[in-house]
């Protein structure tokens, strides 16, 4: 492929979930010509009729704009998408397999179709998070089945944060690209030419591990601060004060030091399990990761213990869960901590009511969803905050205290300022319990 000034790269983005849809839309906005392919006819029908199957800040405006400019279209037809594109970007899911390893069936299904339909030798960019060695294996396999000019595989991991994915696409801290040849590097340079970020070229195996190691490191920071939060509860220190003091050290940094009920979501839990399972495969122990996972697994129980301690029993107690998604500004419930907390509370016989600004459908039927926050709180014995939604900052504490049957608030995300809550507790007679900070009566 020859690249020249102003050339629009013809891109097929395969898999239009959070990563694929954002990538496709943003690349189209950058001037490339994009076809988005997904095996889900339902998703493609929604997108083709101008709708969105998921929510991301700013995505609908950008998508409408690119549709108007005629730079993006949607299809389930892999053959035509592969045959009409110079660059294929694979963004299919790599979910948990039965033993914790990444399930690569969707990825290999795409690779087989690429081998079948591909006429010339395009570049196959793997954006999905894949175990170390996968890109090499795919390229070798393609070379054995292809007689035509060979496809080159590039690994280009994605680091976007759900909820800020569009912003992150245009302002990444870095772009990592595992490439084998100069031509592959020039593809990446052309694709991301409008983005003012350092492109870090490396070999594919390192690129694959950079993604897992980055997620594992962030998860480890969360588990570390949660471990210190538990220690603060024993010693009378305050974890938010501790974290702020630690974060002032640039070697440590202040991000991911928010103590609470632990991480969830579609990436950290599965990527840590996949990394541990890679460790088994390569016969290399990864003890820090094992601790990270086990500390995180204890967090929901720790929160429920606080609830039990405050109420004596959960049997027939009405609990208002505020926030259900794994973090604010997303509609994603995958591995959300609210699921584990809800199950534990139900085992204790609690009556669960919930409010989340984005959730209209919850996988646990016993949890009664309310559209209004105060309806969820009405007659509750305790409020449990599970997602730090901005909306919760506007809680009218006087009204909350009138609505509650027992005035217990458990802040699983430490979202409220401790000094402010002293005042709330005084004026509204609320017991405020958070993570790694003394209880305020």
Classify the C-alpha dihedral 338-342-344-345 as positive or negative: positive
262 versus 269: smaller Cβ distance to ligand NAD: 269
List, as one string, the DSSP characters of 24-90.
HHHHHHTT-EEEEE-S-HHHHHHHHTT--SS--TTHHHHHHHHHHTT-EEEES-HHHHHHT-SEEEE
Say whether 311 counts as a known binding-site residue. no
Q: Compute the distance between CA of residue 386 and CA of residue 40 in angstroms, rounded to an integer.
A: 31
CB of 215 to ligand NAD, least distance (A): 8
Per CB under 6 A, the list member of 58, 97, 106, 121 interacting with ligand NAD is 106
85 versus 414: smaller Cβ distance to ligand NAD: 85
Say whether 119 counts as a known binding-site residue. no
Say whether 104 counts as a known binding-site residue. no
100 versus 247: smaller Cβ distance to ligand NAD: 100
Say whether 174 counts as a known binding-site residue. no
In contact, 408 and 433? CB cutoff 8 Å: yes
38 versus 101: smaller Cβ distance to ligand NAD: 38
143 versus 161: smaller Cβ distance to ligand NAD: 161
Residue 338 interacting with ligand NAD (CB under 6 A)? no
Residue 172 interacting with ligand NAD (CB under 6 A)? no
CB of 194 to ligand NAD, least distance (A): 20
Residue 160 interacting with ligand NAD (CB under 6 A)? yes
In contact, 221 and 257? CB cutoff 8 Å: yes
Q: DSSP label at 5?
A: T
Residues in the chain, how many? 441
CA angle at residue 274 from 255 to 386, to 5 degrees? 45
Per CB under 6 A, the list member of 30, 66, 128, 258 interacting with ligand NAD is 128
Q: Beta 123-126 vs 33-37: how paired, if at all?
A: unpaired
CB of 91 to ligand NAD, least distance (A): 5
Q: Note if 26 is an active site residue.
A: no
Q: Which stretch binds ligand NAD (CB under 6 A): 1-9, 32-40, 137-145, 417-425?
A: 32-40
Residue 245 sits at φ, ψ, to 5 deg, of: -65, -40
Residue 156 interacting with ligand NAD (CB under 6 A)? no
Q: Which residues pair with 385 in a beta bridge?
A: 322, 411
CB of 158 to ligand NAD, least distance (A): 4
Nearest alpha-carbon partner for 424 in 397, 393, 399, 385: 397
Q: Which stretch binds ligand NAD (CB under 6 A): 102-110, 186-194, 256-264, 385-393?
A: 102-110
Q: Which residues pair with 11 in a beta bridge?
A: 34, 87
Per CB under 6 A, the list member of 11, 13, 30, 93 interacting with ligand NAD is 93
**What contacts 65, CB < 8 A, 6 or more positions away?**
29
Q: Which stretch binds ligand NAD (CB under 6 A): 3-11, 87-95, 197-205, 362-370?
A: 87-95
Q: Compute the distance between CA of residue 337 and CA of residue 341 in angstroms, rounded to an integer.
A: 6
Residue 262 interacting with ligand NAD (CB under 6 A)? no
In contact, 254 and 291? CB cutoff 8 Å: no
Q: CA-based Rg of the chain, rounded to a whole angstrom?
A: 24
Per CB under 6 A, the list member of 12, 17, 87, 424 interacting with ligand NAD is 17
Among the listed residues 26, 91, 267, 345, the single catalytic one is 267
Residue 82 interacting with ligand NAD (CB under 6 A)? no
List, as one string, the DSSP characters of 101-160.
SB--HHHHHHHHHHHHH--S--EEEE-S---TTHHHHHHHHHHHH--SSPPEEEE----P
Q: Which stretch binds ligand NAD (CB under 6 A): 92-100, 237-245, 255-263, 360-368?
A: 92-100
Can you give the binding site for ligand NAD, defined by CB under 6 A? 14-20, 37-40, 43, 91-94, 106, 109-110, 128-129, 158, 160, 162, 266-267
Q: Binding site residues for substrate, as ranges? A: 211, 256-260, 264, 327
Q: Binding site residues, as ranges? A: 38, 43, 94, 129, 211, 256-260, 264, 270, 327, 334
Active site members: 267
């Amino acid at each position: 492929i020859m690249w020249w000034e102003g050339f629009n790269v013809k891109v097929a983005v395969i898999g239009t979930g959070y990563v694929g849809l954002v990538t496709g839309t943003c690349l189209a906005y950058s001037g490339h010509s994009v076809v988005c392919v997904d095996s889900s006819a339902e998703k493609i029908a929604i997108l083709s009729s101008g709708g969105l199957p998921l929510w991301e800040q700013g995505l609908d405006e950008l998508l409408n704009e690119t549709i108007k400019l005629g730079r993006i279209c949607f299809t389930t037809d892999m053959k035509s998408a592969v045959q009409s594109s110079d660059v294929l970007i694979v963004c299919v899911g790599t979910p948990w397999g039965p033993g914790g390893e990444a399930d690569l069936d969707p990825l290999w299904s795409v690779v087989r179709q690429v081998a079948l339909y591909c006429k010339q030798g395009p570049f196959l960019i793997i954006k999905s998070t894949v175990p170390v060695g996968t890109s090499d294996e795919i390229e070798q396999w393609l070379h054995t089945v292809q007689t035509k000019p060979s496809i080159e595989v590039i690994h280009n991991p994605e680091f976007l944060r759900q909820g800020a994915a569009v912003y992150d696409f245009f302002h990444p801290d870095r772009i990592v690209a595992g490439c084998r040849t100069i031509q592959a590097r020039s593809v990446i340079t052309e694709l991301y030419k409008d983005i003012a970020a350092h492109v870090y070229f490396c070999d594919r195996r390192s690129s694959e591990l950079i993604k897992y190691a980055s997620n594992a490191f962030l998860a480890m920071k969360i588990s570390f601060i949660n471990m210190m939060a538990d220690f603060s509860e024993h010693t009378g220190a305050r974890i938010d004060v501790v974290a702020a003091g630690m974060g002032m050290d640039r070697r440590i940094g202040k991000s991911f030091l928010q103590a609470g009920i632990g991480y969830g979501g579609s990436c950290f839990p599965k990527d840590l399990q996949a990394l541990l399972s890679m460790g088994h495969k390569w016969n290399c122990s990864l003890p820090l990761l094992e601790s990270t996972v086990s500390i995180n697994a204890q967090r929901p129980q720790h929160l429920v213990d606080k609830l039990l301690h405050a109420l004596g029993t959960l049997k027939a107690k009405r609990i208002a869960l505020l926030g259900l998604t794994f973090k604010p500004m997303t509609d994603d419930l995958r591995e959300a901590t609210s699921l584990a907390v809800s199950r534990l509370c139900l085992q204790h016989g609690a009556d669960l009511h919930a409010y989340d600004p984005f959730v209209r459908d919850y996988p646990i039927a016993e949890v009664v969803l309310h559209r209004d926050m105060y309806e969820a709180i009405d007659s509750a014995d305790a409020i449990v905050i599970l997602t730090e939604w901005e909306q919760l900052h506007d809680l009218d504490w006087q009204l909350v205290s009138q609505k509650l049957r027992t005035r217990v608030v458990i802040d699983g995300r430490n979202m409220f300022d401790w000094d402010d809550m002293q005042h709330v507790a005084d004026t509204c007679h609320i017991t405020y319990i958070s993570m790694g900070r003394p209880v305020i009566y």
